[in-house]
């Protein structure tokens, strides 16, 4: 998969993309991630990408032109690769991001993530350029960079070869609309706090059944909305 990110703060991504599973996935050529400075596509001599909103109001609105120019540039660049592209705007107005959507996005060959800032982006971008708008929750952030990082992390780890064990993501939270079962490791007894005996039994069928029941219990207690 190829992921292109349009942002006015490209350095925000350095730490996230240079560590852990995302770093390894890039090294193994499972995913190619390009962080692109949106200002490079501004035709303003000072590389401005925002202006005052028509009709008045507080703050500044990001211009449509740099986004259109950048996405068109990317489309021309990958034309020979014949990749199926999905252009996504990170926005509080978008549909809620969840594991099911992460799985769906992981099937695409190419994603372009647009990161807004200030009071938002000229709405012509949402109307005429993007294929989807995604929100990571009902709260407001200063920009789309953190949501973009969350989407990249969630999607990239689902790609074949990203994780050391191909089955690692099968039993995770939300994979079956359930939270994940509890995990324990050594020591089996820490200050009187003991690991459930079933996990020490070696009976894989009993362990599987216990994990299923615990996942349901955890979901009922912490996220009953998932069971509806």
DSSP reduced 3-state for 34: strand
CA–CA dist 217, 177 (Å, integer): 13
Handedness of CA 72, 74, 80, 85 (dihedral sign): negative
Task: Measure the CA–CA gap between 133 and 26, rounded to whole angstroms.
Answer: 25
Beta-bridge partners for 34: 4
Q: Are 134 and 24 in contact (CB under 8 A)?
A: no
Per-residue pLDDT reduced to its tens digit, 65-80: 999 999 999 999 998 8
DSSP assignment of 135-190 equals ESSSS--SBSHHHHHHHHHHHHTTSTTSSSSTTTTTTSTTTTSSPPPP---S-SEE
pTM score of the predicted model: 0.88
pLDDT, tens digit, 9 for 90 and up, residues 9-21: 999 999 999 999 9
pLDDT for the residue 18:
95
Q: Is 228 exposed, middle or buried (0-12, 13-18, 19+ CB in 10 A)?
A: exposed
* Spans of the chain below 50 pLDDT: none
- At 173 the pLDDT is 56
Q: Which pLDDT does position 80 carry in this prediction?
A: 81
Structural domains present in the chain: 2-156 (3.40.1280.10), 171-228 (1.10.1270.20)
């Amino acid at each position: 998969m190829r992921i292109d990110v349009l942002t006015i703060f490209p350095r925000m991504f350095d730490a996230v993309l240079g560590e852990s599973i995302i770093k390894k996935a890039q090294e193994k050529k499972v995913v190619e991630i390009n962080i692109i400075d949106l200002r490079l596509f501004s035709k303003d001599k000072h590389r401005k990408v925002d202006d005052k909103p028509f009709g008045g109001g507080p703050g500044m609105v990001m211009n449509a032109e740099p986004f259109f120019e950048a996405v068109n540039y990317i489309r021309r660049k990958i034309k020979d690769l014949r990749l199926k592209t999905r252009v996504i705007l990170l926005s509080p107005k978008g549909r809620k991001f969840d594991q099911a959507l992460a799985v769906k996005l992981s099937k695409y060959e190419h994603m372009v993530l647009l990161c807004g800032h200030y009071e938002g982006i000229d709405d012509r971008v949402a109307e005429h350029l993007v294929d989807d708008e995604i929100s990571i929750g009902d709260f407001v952030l200063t920009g789309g960079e953190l949501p973009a990082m969350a989407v990249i992390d969630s999607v990239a780890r689902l790609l074949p070869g990203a994780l050391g064990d191909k089955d690692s993501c099968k039993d995770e939270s939300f994979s079956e609309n359930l939270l994940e079962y509890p995990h324990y490791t050594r020591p089996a007894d820490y200050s009187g706090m003991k690991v459930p005996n079933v996990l020490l039994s070696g009976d894989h069928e009993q362990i599987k059944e216990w994990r299923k029941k615990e996942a349901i219990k955890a979901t009922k207690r912490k996220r009953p909305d998932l069971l509806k």
